[in-house]
Structure 1
Amino acid sequence: METPLVFSQLNMCESKEKTFFKLIHGSSKEEGSKEDKIRVSPKEAVIWGESFDKLLSHKDGLEAFTRFLKTEFSEENIEFWIACEDFKKSKDPKQILLKAKAIYEKFIQNDAPQEVNLDFHTKEVITKSITQPTLHSFDAAQSRVYQLMEQDSYTRFLKSDIYLDLIEGRPPRPTNLRRRSRSFTYNEFQDVKSDVAIWL
């Protein structure tokens, strides 16, 4: 009898995070069509070049910047920042605890699926406070990630085809937006012959 190939570890956190991150990002079915939804005038897009805050405060600016980060495989930074913004709006203590744990497991802990680049001290402070989080638990980490994006990714975004097309009123070019993953899927290795038992 054949044993079905199951990688249960790929969905370990899904149930806890699913509802929370669906609220932030929408369903995955929408992801492919998002680049078609960026419809701004060149005049609006030019404003995004004035400051990083102006880019992030505009819904389409945030979407264009996220699309750019995906081409650089660093979208975890903006996703973490968005998750922190949403987290700070939480009111219910139970919701604060659940969201804090989801953010920690997805972005902060060692080998998290979308681990952001933080110094040891910042990570340590968050790790110690995660059992009793406050609305300010991620402030230092969010500020650090914001600075990294502003000083690094934002300047490259302003020179990117994605942004230049918008300010010149050209339709967006198709981009190859592959999801970076630290784990593999069955489809990527379907031609590899191996003993299933080694994975169990």
Structure 2
Amino acid sequence: MMETIIKELQSEKFGLFQAMKVRRPVTAFTGYDLVQWLRKRFDMEEQREAIHLSQLLCQYGYIYPLDLKSYSIKEDRSVEYRFQKPFYWPFSSQVSTDSIEYAIYLQKRSMRNKQKHGLEPYEQEAFDKLLKVYCDKKEFIEKQATEQVDEIKKKKRNEKIIFDQQERAFWRIHRPPPGCVKNLEEGPKKNFLPQQIIARKKTKEALRKEIAFLKKSFGRPRMKFSMVFESYKLRWEQYKEFDPFMDASATQPSNPWMSDETMLWEINSPDVHIPTDSRMKKWAISFYELINDPRGQCEFDEYLQKEYSHENLHFWCAVENYKCCPRSRQKEEMNSIYKMYLEKGSRSEVNVDSKTLDQVHQNMRSSSESNAKARYVFEPAQEHIYVLMKKDSYPRYLRSDQFKDLMEKAKQQPLTKRRFFFGGPKKRPSTPSPKINRRHGSSSSDRDVSSDISGESSPVHVAHHSFSTGNLQDLDSHKSSRTNSRFYVVMENL
């Protein structure tokens, strides 16, 4: 569509230059001329429609501004534009836009006059990265750039200027500077080898397999859309209260993505002692939720031990771990699981019928280490045990006292974290203040002060801080009272 408009704009009879009515030959036009021509050609009532169409022509690289700065159409005569060469049109197959061609273009500019053709900072950065990536093709890039520079030197001055502007405008569209929008979306390139193209061609054998597959698909049961919709609706109603997008109260006590509290992750951790109320409600909804929850597995295993059927859960978990084990241990794990749970007379033999056991034996014989199906040799027995636990042990566990008691504890569990405040105001003790010891002789009102504080008229015990002549008698009496201690007895004996 845009290429058709560009061809009409460049038409010799009804084109843009003929509408401008300029006698001298021109190669440039203004945004005002382009907008007016589009309004007249397509009978546009509003000017903004013509401006929008001209913006698309500029952004996709069919026209370019002479200053090569702003790729937006100005509906006045301040900026001039030129038509892009068909060789550089965005959807042309004549020129490639891969990284090697971009590296050749940057190398070519770096070899010319730096004042006119110098690289911008983002182009220099891109050029350095490309040289590191294509270090093995550096000579090829330099040789191609040298040949193109020699061809440019043969052109006339005006032709050089126009060619440089067209090439810069082309790469400005395909490799815009940082912060600019890239309007052209380039899809993934399909580089197929001839061998791959031949392999893709359908042979008679491939067509026979496709016909057999389609015949089998006719006999498969198909679920009606109404039933599928009802099942999705039922699941949505069951899990609505656990979905934070549907119900904001599902993230109790608080949403960790909205606040800084991590209480939600702590109370729902796998090794938590008491699970939350919502977590146990999921267990009651589906056996899948119970058996895939680490805490639910522990609780269900504890209940199965009371029923002497815990080997069923152990076998199911062992098969799940076997599916993810390394290939080097695959054969060892397979033999270990069979000897422990499926071999007759084993200590933890599970209750599996003969038909299912025959399927397991057939899978083990046909499996090998290189076979991808070797990880699923116990799939029939695992499905049998899963259905057995779901229909037999699971309903009894939901009715058991163990599940009910745990549910009561989960309901009583607080969903708020205890907060500790440090550095707050301290409460004054309600006990009376201790007696104040004052220096002997420092004040004549020692007895009065102590009696006022303590409420009693007991004598005041003073502390001696200096040896003055006024308290030598008290010092002697104090020394005589301390001589009874063990320390002073030893010192006197020495």
Query: TM-score range, shorter-chain basis?
Result: 0.5 to 0.7
Question: Paired residue for 2:352?
Answer: 118
* Structure 2 counterparts to residues 27-176 of structure 1, below 5 A: 38-92=273-327, 94-130=328-364, 132=367, 134-169=374-409
Structure ID, larger Rg: 2
Aligned partner of residue 117 in structure 1, secondary structure: coil
Q: Distance in 1 between matches of 2:347 and 2:273?
A: 28
Q: How many residues align?
A: 135
Question: Paired residue for 2:89?
Answer: none
1:72 positional shift = 0.2
Q: Distance in 2 between matches of 1:115 and 1:65?
A: 19
Residues 92-116 of structure 1: CA distance to partner in whole angstroms, max 9, x if unpaired? 1x31101110100000011111111
Q: Unmatched 5+ residue regions in structure 1?
A: 1-35, 171-200
1:128 positional shift = 4.0
1:154 positional shift = 0.2
Indicate how the Cα distance of structure 1 residues 100 and 167 shifts in structure 2: closer, same or farther if over 3 A, else same.
same
Q: Distance in 2 between matches of 1:128 and 1:139?
A: 12
Q: Is the 8 A contact 2:274 2:409 kept in 1?
A: no
User: Counterpart amino acid of 1:150?
Assistant: K
Q: Distance in 2 between matches of 1:53 and 1:135?
A: 21
Structure 1: 4+ residue segments shifted above 4 A: none
The normalised TM-score by structure 2 is 0.26
User: Counterpart amino acid of 1:114?
Assistant: S
Residues 150-185 of structure 1: CA distance to partner in whole angstroms, max 9, x if unpaired? 000000000111111111117xxxxxxxxxxxxxxx
* Percentage of matched positions with identical amino acids: 30
Q: Unmatched 5+ residue regions in structure 2?
A: 1-270, 369-373, 411-494
Q: Is the 8 A contact 1:41 1:166 kept in 2?
A: no
User: Counterpart amino acid of 1:105?
Assistant: K
Q: Is the 8 A contact 1:105 1:112 kept in 2?
A: yes
1:42 positional shift = 2.6
Q: Is the 8 A contact 2:359 2:380 kept in 1?
A: no
* Structure 2 counterparts to residues 17-36 of structure 1, below 5 A: none
Q: Distance in 2 between matches of 1:129 and 1:38?
A: 41
